[in-house]
Amino acid sequence: MSDPKDTINIENVVASTGIGQELELQSVAMDLEGADYDPEQFPGLVYRTQNPKSAALIFRSGKIVCTGAKSTDDVHESLEIVFEELRDLRIPVEASPDITVQNIVTSADLGKNLNLNAIAIGLGLENIEYEPEQFPGLVYRLEDPDVVALLFGSGKLVITGGKEPSDAHEAVDMITGRLDELGLLAWRSSCFDPAFSDVSTCRVASSPWETQGLLQASECEGSFTRHIRVAFESRHVGWGMSVQTAAGLVATAATGTAGPVATAGTLVLFAVFISVTAHLAARNVLGDVPFRRALVVGIGPSTVAVAGTALGVPALVTLPTAVLVDWIGIYRSYDGSRGLAVYIVLIHFVISILIGTVFVSVALLLASRPGWINKSCSRLVSPP
């Protein structure tokens, strides 16, 4: 594994300067070959240099902003070209105008997948902005150096706000150090590629979650990994999947085995959950009804959901089937009309989602705690 600092690359350097006098940009645009000036779109004149490549934004006040350069040396070379062009137009420019670097944007690669949910908690919410629904990266504001880092689940970093190239190196050192302390770095593993089918053979170093919900690393084999991965890949379906995840974790950890025992434990816990939510839905519509009827209802949908997940059946097939079986169970158990059974199923669906969300949130919170899965798995499998 190479040092992440070796992957640091400057993507953009933004610097500012000025010539100390106002300019008639329309006249400059006509005389300066290659200049682009459209005041209706942008108030400044844009002049691009080719060697080195950059763009100079020249404003009426005489202020000039250079952007697109790949190094501070390129900034000075590019602006010197601009100064010479202006001098050729008989615009007085002093010999060495002050140039101030405003922002150095760099990229880097930690070479490891990141658990952004756990990082957001571990680094402290006061320094973190993480809204995956709006932006896939985590925003981490550092105080020393005074930069902002964007962290992505792939391990890629973007560091902005630096004034010196060394700021990026210091930021990468600080970030990797903090993540190591929290145990939130996991080695990349190609076996978690969606095309990889044999999940049970994967073994990697630690256990964070990717923002998309896939388990990136685990020392556990078999159903523990499969329960989490399959259920979270299907999380957009909603009903039952979140509870199946939590149930699978509990069953596997409790029994200390994988495979049939864990699957059976998942089935029992999920059936109990579906029965309880079915009873709540039925009571909401029918009033006081015996709970034993709900026990009959819970068996069907839970069997369909667990069997479908274990066999790899797409969730878009499993869900409608489970809902249909749920309707049949409710219709026969409560001796009502078909329309009434549909109404109870709808309420059952909503209640299951609400309570299931609580279950999976608790499971995610526990799993995001550094080392939690490793400690749980140490009782289930021997070291590789």
pLDDT, tens only, 84-111: 999 999 999 988 899 999 999 999 999 8
DSSP codes joined into one string, 299-366:
HHHHHHHHHHHHTT--HHHHHHHHHHHHHHHHHHHTT--HHHHHHHHHHHHHHHHHHHHHHHHHHHHH
Task: Tell me what the mean pLDDT of segment 147-170 comes to.
Answer: 94
Q: Which residues contact 254 (CB under 8 A, 6 or more apart)?
A: 265
- C-alpha–C-alpha distance, residues 191 and 360, integer Å: 25
Higher pLDDT, 341 or 171: 171
Half-sphere exposure of residue 162: CA atoms within 13 angstroms, side-chain side = 26
CB 219 within 8 A of CB 378: yes
Look at residue 230 in the predicted model and tell me its pLDDT. 37
Least confident of 81-85, 106-110, 208-212, 322-326: 208-212
Look at residue 1 in the predicted model and tell me its pLDDT. 53
- C-alpha–C-alpha distance, residues 298 and 239, integer Å: 13
Cite the beta strand spans of 32-85 per DSSP E: 35-36, 45-50, 53-58, 63-69
pLDDT at residue 319 is higher than 50: yes
pLDDT at residue 142 is higher than 60: yes
Half-sphere exposure of residue 368: CA atoms within 13 angstroms, side-chain side = 19
In the block, which residue shows the tokens 């009426």?
60
Higher pLDDT, 261 or 17: 17
Flag whether the pTM goes above 0.85.
no
pLDDT, tens only, 188-201: 444 433 333 333 33
- C-alpha–C-alpha distance, residues 213 and 203, integer Å: 18
- The burial class, CB within 10 Å (0-12 / 13-18 / 19+), for 289 is middle
Look at residue 199 in the predicted model and tell me its pLDDT. 37
CB 114 within 8 A of CB 184: yes
In 3D, which of 378, 143, 164, 115 has the Cα closest to residue 256?
378
Task: Tell me what the mean pLDDT of segment 226-234 comes to.
Answer: 39
Task: Tell me what the mean pLDDT of segment 4-15 comes to.
Answer: 94
Look at residue 241 in the predicted model and tell me its pLDDT. 42
Look at residue 364 in the predicted model and tell me its pLDDT. 65
- C-alpha–C-alpha distance, residues 238 and 231, integer Å: 10
Average pLDDT of every residue of the chain: 77
Higher pLDDT, 32 or 210: 32
Higher pLDDT, 106 or 229: 106
Which CATH fold topology does 104-187 show?
TATA-Binding Protein (3.30.310)
Topology alike, domains 11-103 and 104-187? yes
pLDDT at residue 160 is higher than 50: yes
CB 358 within 8 A of CB 366: no
Look at residue 184 in the predicted model and tell me its pLDDT. 82
Task: Tell me what the mean pLDDT of segment 54-70 comes to.
Answer: 95
In the block, which residue shows the tokens 């630690």?
206
Least confident of 76-90, 141-155, 321-335: 321-335
pLDDT, tens only, 234-282: 333 344 444 444 444 443 433 344 467 777 878 888 889 899 998 998 8
pLDDT, tens only, 375-384: 444 333 333 3
pLDDT at residue 185 is higher than 70: yes
| 383: preceding bond cis by omega (within 30 degrees) | no
In 3D, which of 89, 102, 96, 75 has the Cα closest to residue 35?
89
Which CATH fold topology does 11-103 show?
TATA-Binding Protein (3.30.310)
Domain residue ranges in the chain: 11-103, 104-187, 219-377
* Residue 260, SS3 per DSSP: helix
pLDDT over 70 percentage in the chain: 74
Q: Which residues contact 214 (CB under 8 A, 6 or more apart)?
A: 192, 229, 232, 233
Look at residue 127 in the predicted model and tell me its pLDDT. 85
Cite the beta strand spans of 60-193 per DSSP E: 63-69, 100-109, 112-114, 128-129, 138-141, 148-151, 156-162, 185-187
Rg for the chain, CA atoms, rounded: 30
pLDDT at residue 70 is higher than 80: yes
**Of the segments 166-175, 191-200, 336-345, 356-365, which one has the largest average pLDDT value?**
166-175
